[in-house]
Structure 1
C-alpha cells in the first residue's frame, strides 16, 4: 500500500466482492488474508480470533505455516497479539522480536519476520480478535497503513460477529463474539423471564461499509454533523433548560463533544480510507469505546455514554432511521435491554410481550423498578456494559430472583431455567391455594394485606390474590402512559373501573405524584438539580390547583354512593394537608350545588414520606382520617441517598435500627390517636422486611401483586409475639449497627419461616 493512494479503497472493494461469494467461512478468511497481504505489500497477514475460553486462536494466515492454523493458540496475556487484544490498541514495531512481550511460536515459522503491525478487531468497543501483518525487513508502518488496517478489521468484525465461524470450532473453543455470557447484577424485580433481546436504544446496524463515492460520503457526514449540532443548540435554547445549573453544564459538555475537531477529523479520515459516512462513525466510535471501557476514571467512563448517544444520533441522521421505531417490531417474548429508561418509556411498549428488563444502571426502589414490579416483569440492574455485549435477537434469560442474566445461554442452562419456571409456577399454585385463607399470624394476630396498583392490568390481581383491598393506587401511571392530558371523563372512567373491580374492598387513591423525575411526556419538563426534592406531587398540585381540582372532581364523581379514600403525596407540613383538604371540601360543595351524586363517605389522609412530618405527628393525626407510609421516599430522605442513583441507592439499609425506629415512631403515635396506618412502600413487598414491620407494630401492609403470595405465606407461619420480643431490644441497641438484616434472617431461619 506504500505510495498507492488508492490502495485502501481498492482493498475494500475487493473485500466486498469476497464477502458476496458463496464460499465457506474458512475459504472467505483465507482469501481475505491474501488480499490484505498483497495490498499492504506484506509478507504475512494473519487473523486471530478471541475464543470463549479467553484465548486467541490463529484462524487464517498468508505467509506463516498453514499447518499452524487452528493449532496455534495463545493466552490473552501472552505475546504481542495478546497485548493488542488486551489493550484494544494497535501496536506497530520495526523490530518485534526485541519487544519484551514477543512470544516465539516455532510452529508458525515467524522467526524470520521482524516488523509487526497488529490492530484489534473491534465491535461496539469489544475485542473480537486481532489482525496482524508482518514483514522480513525492519520497516515502520505509516499512519495511513495503520488506519487502513483498522478499517479492514471492521469487515472481519462483521464476519466474526455473524456467527459464521462458530460451526468450524470445537465445543468450548467457539469465537467469543457469540459466546454465552453469565452476568451478575442487582435484582430489581423478582421472577424469571426467557426471551430475546430488544435494545431500547438499539445500535444502528450499518449495512453498507464500503464507499462508492468518497466526496459524496464526506458531504453526507458533514451534513449529518451540522444537523446534529443544530439539534443540540435547539435543546440549549429551550426555556426549560436555558438557566444556569448542573444540567446546563452537562448539555454544554454534550455540545462540546459535537464540536470536537478531533472526533470529526477522525471520522473524515476514516471516510478517506474508503468507508461510507456511517461506516466511519461506527469505526471511530468502536475505537473510542474500546479505550474508554478500559479507563478507571468514572467521569471519563460516564462521557462514553454521551459519545455513544452522539454517534447513534449521527447514524440515525445518515440512515434515515427514526428513534423509537423498534417499538413496532417487538417480538412475543421480548427482554428489553437498556442503559436506563424512564417508567413512561417502559409503558410505551406492548407490556403483554415483555418477559424481562436488563439495565446497566437501575436501583431497587426507582420508579422504573416499581412499574416493572407492578407489571410482573423480571428485572435486573447494575449490568455494566451489557448494551455493548448483546445483539438484538440474542436469546437471554433474566433471573430476577438471584440478579443473574444469561446471554446466549447453552442448551443445558436454558433447560434448567425452563424447569425453574415450572417450579415457580407450582409455587404460585401453592400461593393461589392460600387465596381464601385469612391472613392471620400463627399466634392469632390478623394482618390486613392490600395490593399496590396503578394500571387497569393490575385489577384482576385483586380477585386472584384475595387481597383485602388496594392500599395504594398510583393515579399518575395513567397520565404517564397517555399521549395527552387525560380529560376528566377519561379519569372518571378509570377510577370507576378500579372501584368496580374492588367491589366492597377499600381502595386508597393517591393524588398525582408527578414532577421531579416523573415527567409527563406532554408537559414541559422543568429541569431541576435535585428533582426528588423539587417541584413535585402535592407541591405541584397546590401551585396548579386546576390540575388537582379536576382529578379530585373525577374521583368524587367516580365514588358516587361509595366510600372514597384519598391521600396526598409528598406533604412536608400540616398546612399543605389543610390546603389540599380544603380543595376536596370545595369540590364536594361544587358537586352538591350542581346536583351530582356524592360519595357515601370521604376519608382524607396523607403520605408520610418526608421526615419533617415525624416532628408534626400530633398535629397531623388530629386532622387526618388515616395515613400511609411511603417507605421508598422516607428512607431515601432519612439517609439523603437518592434511590435513583445506583452508587448510593443501596448503601443504606431500611432495616437499620434508625429507619425502623422512625417507622415505629409513626405507628406508635397513630395508635395514640386511633388512626389507621398502612405501609405501602416497596419495603412491605419483601418477606423479611414485612416480618420486621409486623414486629414493630404494623398491621396493614400494601404490597406488589407479585409479592402478595410470598409475604402472606410468611405471615401465616409467623409467631408475631416472638418476633416482636426479638426485635424490640434490637431497636434500643446503644452501639448502632448498619442493619438488623442478619439478625432477622437468623430468626426467620430458626423459626422455619418461608422467605
Structure 2
C-alpha cells in the first residue's frame, strides 16, 4: 500500500513547523513519530537512539505500547533494529518475524505487525539510532518510501547532534554522540596537548535543512556543481600539477566523482523531496560513507576519503565559505584532526593557536610531520577513524609521547593529562634555566648541542633552546611548502634571515635533498621508482640537474657574504660525487667574484654519511671534506635494510644495538684520526638515552630538534663520561652481538644518577 499522506515534501514541511515550536524534547519526538506514521500510512513508527554503552533505547513510538518508551532496549547487533544500527543499512521486510535476526520484545506489543522498514539515523557516517515504520499487512515498502524515511532520519540526526535529546537520558547514561573515545596510533612528535578539535577538511554544519522552492535549490545545486567541476579542471590544467603520479591521480578521482551521474541524480532526488541543496549533499554524503565503510575492498574504502573531500568542497561552494574565513574562526587551543594534509596546509594555520596534530594517514617522515616537529607541537599519526569520530569543537587530548588521542575525555582523564602538561611545563622551565650553563659532562668534556631547522618558524627557537648553532638546516623544506620552485631571490632572503638570526653561531646548510619520500608535486619525473629511498634523490638528482644546485649555491654564497658558509652534501655514495659538486660550487664562486660580489669569509664543504658504502672509504672521505655529518635516520635504515616508514618494522630493530653502535664508533674514530669534525644529526640525537650512547662512542657534536636540547643537556651535565666510555668499549669489543645495550645503558644511568 503506497503512502498517501501528502508525500515527503509535505511531511518535511510539518517537521519544520514542529522544530520551530516551543516544545519539550519528548513531546516533539512523540509528535514527530505521529506525523511520520500518518504521512506514510503506517500503523507504527518508532525511534531508537544509540547510547554510549552500545544499547539502542526506544525513545518514542506511535503504535507500540507507550509504556515501553525508555524501557525497551536492544544491544547493538541484536534484533532487526540492532542489525540495522550495526550495518548502517536499511532493512525492508514483508514478514519481519521470519527474519533470522528478529528479536521479540514482549513489552512493546509489536508481535501483531508483519511488514517492517527500518533505516539508520546517520550523521557523518556514524549511526546515532534507527527509525522504523511497521504495518500489519504483509508488504514491501517502495523505494520512494525508503528514500522519504532516510531523509527524515537525517533531520532527526541533527536533533540528536544538537543535544536536544540529552535531557531525556537517564542518570548515569549518555548518548553515543557524546561518549568518550580513546584511539591509539603512533607517536610522531612528543608532547601533550589539551584543546578542541578543528577538522582540517571540516564538515560544513548545515542548519537550513528544508527548502521552500525545490526548483530554486536545483538551480543552486547545478551552479555549485558547475563551479566545482571548473575548479577541478583548473587545478588539473595548472603547470604546478604533475602530469602523472599520486597528486594528479587524486584530482582525477575528484573529477570522476564530480561528473558521476548517479551521485548527481541522488542529490537532485533529495532536493525534490524537500531538502535544501546543502542538506541534500550532507544526506547523500552520509549515506555513501556508511555504505562504503562496510565494504571489504580496501581500494574502495580508500576512495571514500576522495569522495568526502569532494562533498565538502561542494558544500563550501554552496555556502560560499572560504578557507581564510575558517582559519579566522580557529579556537585558541586548536588540535587539528585530518586524514592527511600537506606541509603548506599546516603552515596556513596560525602557529600561536595550535596545540597538536592528529593524522589518520601519515608516516613519521611525512613532510607535514617534519614541519609539525619544527613548530614544536605534539603529533599522533596512523590514528584510524579519528576524523569520523570527531566533531568540530569536541574536547580532545593528544598524547604525543604515546601516540594516543582522547576524544571527549572524562573529567578524570582530563585532570591526569592537565597535570602531565603542567609537569612538562615545569620541566621545560628547568631546562630553560640550563640554557646559560656550559654544555659539558660531569667530568668536564664539552659537547656541542645543536638544533635542526628548515623554516623561518624554527629560528626563534635557536636562542630559546640554548643551542650552540644549527647543525642541520634542511633547505628542501622551503621547496616542499611552495607551489612552484622558489625563486633565487626568495632562497637568498631565507638564507640571509637564518644567518642573521643565528647571530654568529655556526649554521650548516644541507643542499636540497628531494626525491625518495620528499616529492615535489611541481617537479616532473619521467619514471616511477620501485624503491625511491634507494633511487634518484638528493645529490644524485642535483648532479643530474646542475642548474638546480647552481641556483641554490649562488643564493647561499650571496646570503653568506662576509660570513662563514658551511655547505653539506646529502646522500653521498662515492667520493667522485664530492669532486663533481666542488667543481659546480667553485664555478659559482668564480662567477660571483668576477662581478665583485661580497663572498663568504670561509667556505667549508662537508658530506652527510648516510650510505653504508662510505664506511669502506672513511679515511679517504675525511681527507676530502671539511666536516662530516652522520644522517642516522637513513644510515640506520640502510644498514638494517628496514624501511623507516614501515610501521611493521619501526620498532623491530634497535639503533642502540651492538652492530649499529660499532658502526657509529667507527665513524667517530675515523674523524678523530684525521682531525675532521664529525656531527650526528638525526632522531637518534634527540633522546637522552641514545644521546648518551653517542657521546660514549666518541661524538662531541650532535644536532636535534630544539625541544630535545633541554632534556639532553640535563642528561649531559650529570654524565660521568669516562666510566661510560670504558663500559661501552668493553661491551662493543666483546664477542656478544646480542648483548642488550639499551638495558645496559639504562642500568648505567640509574647507577650514576643520570636523568633520562
| Partner SS for 1:188 | strand
Q: Check 1:647–1:42 CA distance in 2 against 1; reply closer, same or farther (3 A cut).
A: farther
Instruction: Please say if residues 56 and 129 of structure 1, whose CA atoms lie closer than 8 Å, have aligned partners that are also in contact.
Output: yes
Contact preservation (8 Å) 1:88, 1:290: yes
**Where does residue 633 of structure 1 map in the other structure?**
634
Aligned to 1:58: 58
| Unaligned segments of structure 2, at least 5 residues | none
1:687–1:714 contact (8 Å) kept in structure 2: yes
Report the counterpart of residue 593 of structure 2 in structure 1: 592
The match for 1:274 is 274
- The structural deviation recorded for 1:599 is 2.7
Distance 1:199 1:575 in 2: 49
8 Å contact from structure 1 (residues 266, 284) kept in 2: yes
Residue deviations 1:47-83 (CA, integer Å, cap 9, x gap): 1111122222222222222232222333213222211
Aligned partners of 1:748, 1:190: CA distance in 2, in Å?
Answer: 22
CA distance 1:576–1:263, change in 2 (3 Å) = same
- Distance of 1:418 and 1:706 partners within structure 2: 20
Q: 1:97: Cα distance to partner? A: 2.7
**Maintained 8 Å contact 2:367/2:480:** no
Partner of 1:378: 378
Moved more, 704-713 or 436-445: 436-445
Preserved contact between residue 5 and residue 40 of structure 2 (Cα < 8 Å): no
Given the superposition, is the C-alpha separation of residues 430 and 235 from structure 1 closer, same or farther in structure 2, using an over 3 Å criterion?
Answer: closer
Q: Distance in 1 between matches of 2:740 and 2:95?
A: 60
* Number of corresponding residues: 754
Mean Cα deviation higher: 328-337 or 557-566: 557-566
Q: Is the contact made by 1:360 and 1:386 (CA closer than 8 Å) also made in structure 2?
A: yes
Cross-structure match for 1:498:
498
CA contact 2:123–2:154 (8 Å) conserved in 1: yes
Counterpart residue number, 1:363: 363
Contact 2:593 2:599 in 1 (8 A): yes
Q: Offset at 1:267? A: 3.5
Structure 1, 579-588 or 173-182: larger mean CA deviation: 579-588
**Paired residue for 1:185?**
185
Q: Which residue of 1 aligns with 2:114?
A: 114
Alpha-carbon distance, 1:517 to partner: 5.1
- What's the counterpart of residue 78 of structure 1? 78
Distance change in 2, residues 1:213/1:662 (3 Å): farther
Question: Against the structure 1 CA distance between its residues 652 and 37, is the aligned structure 2 distance closer, same or farther, given a 3 Å change threshold?
Answer: farther
Alignment of 1:507 onto 2:512: no
Matches within 5 A, 1:514-529: 514=514, 518=518, 523=522, 529=528
Unaligned runs of 5+ in 1: none
Is the 1:53–1:172 contact (alpha carbons within 8 Å) kept by the matching residues of 2?
A: no
> For residues 436 and 350 of structure 1, what CA distance do their matches in structure 2 show?
30
- My pick for the range that moved more, 130-139 or 660-669, is 660-669
Give, in whole Å, the separation in 2 of the partners of 1:486 and 1:248: 21
Give the drift of 1:580. 2.3
Q: Which residue of 1 aligns with 2:680?
A: 679
The change in CA–CA distance for 1:636 and 1:313 in structure 2 (over 3 A counts) is: farther
Quote the offset at 1:391 in angstroms. Answer: 1.8
Residue 707 of structure 1 is matched in structure 2 by 708
Q: Does 1:338 align with 2:338?
A: yes
Question: What is the CA–CA distance in structure 1 between the aligned matches of 2:351 and 2:526, rounded to whole Å?
Answer: 29
For residues 155-213 of structure 1, what are the alpha-carbon distances to aligned partners after superposition, in whole Å with 9 as ceiling and x for unaligned?
Answer: 01111111222233245411111222222221211112222222211123333333444
Distance 2:96 2:204 in 1: 38
Cα 1:21–1:616 change in 2 (3 A) is farther
Report deviation, 1:470: 1.5
Q: Which residue of 2 aligns with 1:133?
A: 133
Q: 3-state SS of the aligned residue for 1:106? A: coil
Aligned to 1:92: 92
Shift, 1:701, TM fit: 1.0
User: Where do residues 295-694 of structure 1 align in structure 2 (5 Å cutoff)?
Assistant: 295-322=295-322, 325-442=325-442, 444-480=444-480, 491-514=491-514, 518=518, 523=522, 529-530=528-529, 532=533, 536-638=537-639, 643=644, 653-655=654-656, 659-694=660-695
Q: Give runs of aligned pairs for residues 162-311 of structure 1, distance below 5 A.
A: 162-218=162-218, 220-221=220-221, 224-225=224-225, 228=228, 256-311=256-311
- Indicate if the aligned counterparts of 2:5 and 2:38 stay in contact, CA closer than 8 A: no
Q: 1:401 to 1:158 in 2, by over 3 A?
A: same
Equivalent-residue separation in structure 1 for 2:315 and 2:735 (angstroms): 60
The answer to whether the Cα contact below 8 Å between 2:221 and 2:277 also exists between their aligned partners in 1 is: yes
Q: Secondary structure at the match of 2:279?
A: helix
Distance 2:365 2:246 in 1: 24
1:648 to partner: Cα distance: 5.9
Which stretch of structure 1 is more off in the superposition, 329-338 or 21-30? 21-30
**Is the 2:451–2:709 Cα contact (8 Å) retained in structure 1?**
yes
1:706 deviates by 0.9
Q: Which moved more, 1:525-534 or 1:183-192?
A: 525-534
- Give 1:7 shift: 0.8
Q: Aligned residue for 1:26?
A: 26
CA distance in 2, matches of 1:748, 1:216: 73
Write the deviation string for residues 673-725 of structure 1: whole angstroms up to 9, x where unpaired.
Answer: 33222111122112233233334333321011111111222333444455556
Hey, what does 2:43 align to over in structure 1?
43
1:228-250 deviation digits (Å, cap 9, x = unpaired) = 55655666667787867677766
Q: TM-score, normalised to structure 2's length? A: 0.89
TM-aligned CA deviation for residue 605 of structure 1: 0.6
Q: Give the superposition deviation at 1:269.
A: 3.8
Matched-pair contact (CA < 8 Å) for 2:3–2:39 = no
Q: CA deviation at 1:419?
A: 2.4
Deviations 1:514-546 (A, max 9, x none): 46654668x556586446556554345445544
Would you say the 8 A contact 1:124–1:388 is kept in 2?
A: yes
Say if 1:473 and 1:248 are closer, same or farther in 2 by CA, change over 3 A: closer
The separation in 1 between residues aligned to 2:554 and 2:86, in whole angstroms, is 64
Distance in structure 2 (CA, Å) of the matches to 1:732 and 1:2: 87
2: CA distance, partners of 1:646 / 1:565: 35
Give the CA RMSD over aligned residues: 3.4
SS in 1 for 2:341: coil
The superposition leaves residues 93-137 of structure 1 with CA deviations (integer Å, 9 ceiling, x where unpaired) of 223233333223333232333322221111111111111112233
Counterpart-to-counterpart distance in 2, 1:119 and 1:162: 20
Question: Normalising by structure 1, what TM-score?
Answer: 0.89
8 A Cα contact 2:186 2:381, kept in partner = yes
Distance 1:742 1:172 in 2: 46
Structure 1 residue 142: deviation in Å? 2.0
Instruction: Decide whether the 8 Å contact of 2:4 with 2:39 is kept in 1.
Output: no
Quote how far apart the aligned CAs of 1:434 are.
2.3
